[in-house]
Structure 1
Amino acid sequence: MEEEESSSFLSRLFRKSSEEVLEQEITDDAYAELRQLLMRAKPEIMGDKILLHLPRAEVILRPGKLIIKAKTRKDAEKILRNLHHYSQPPGLWPAYGLTYSLRKEKTRVS
């Protein structure tokens, strides 16, 4: 019994983590809008490829293609959905059930 437990423990420890990948073909106009949106997050730029690291995923934008690599399919779909909704003007966000907030820096009085 101990051998089975240790074997399963080791297999869980060393198994390759599966990664979900969503790819979407995009137009030149959509590429320009997504590029503008992703540039706000200060991504890595490698040639014509824009790479944005998020806590649970990576977003890769290339001309003609948007790729999202996430730990689970649910996370990848959520990121894709949010990218498309947040590329819309903020006035439309409540229609999708999204919110936004403007943070003001707190002034310190010394």
Structure 2
Amino acid sequence: MATAPSRGPRPSVSEPPGYHDQKADHLSRLHKIEGQVRGVTRMVDEDRYCIDVLTQIGAITRALQEVALGLLDEHSRNCVLNAARSDSQRADEKLDELALTMRRVMRL
């Protein structure tokens, strides 16, 4: 198992995350996904047909991927862009962090 890469400096507590403006949307999607997972648990408990369970798991996976892509987009448009505007070294660190995160999300 690979060792988790060290993370660079985090923004200060007073600095909102890049997804701040879309937080309510992300939370809404995550709550829906949570409900879908509970539904799949019930399906398995009720011995539902395998294909139906797998179809729901695929939908959950896609929904989580959409949340992840949204967060990556907002991170690049906010955190990375702000770092690029303020300090080239910090921008390089943020770009490296973004690349590592994308590899992790894509499981490469």
Tell me if both proteins adopt one fold, taking TM over 0.5 as the criterion: no
Structure 1 or 2: larger helix share? Answer: 2
- Quickly name the TM-score band, shorter chain normalised: under 0.3
TM-score (norm 1): 0.24
The structure having more radius of gyration, on CA atoms, is 1
Which structure exhibits the higher relative contact order, with contacts defined as CA atoms closer than 8 Å and separated by 6 or more residues? 2
Tell me which protein shows more strand as a share of its residues. Answer: 1
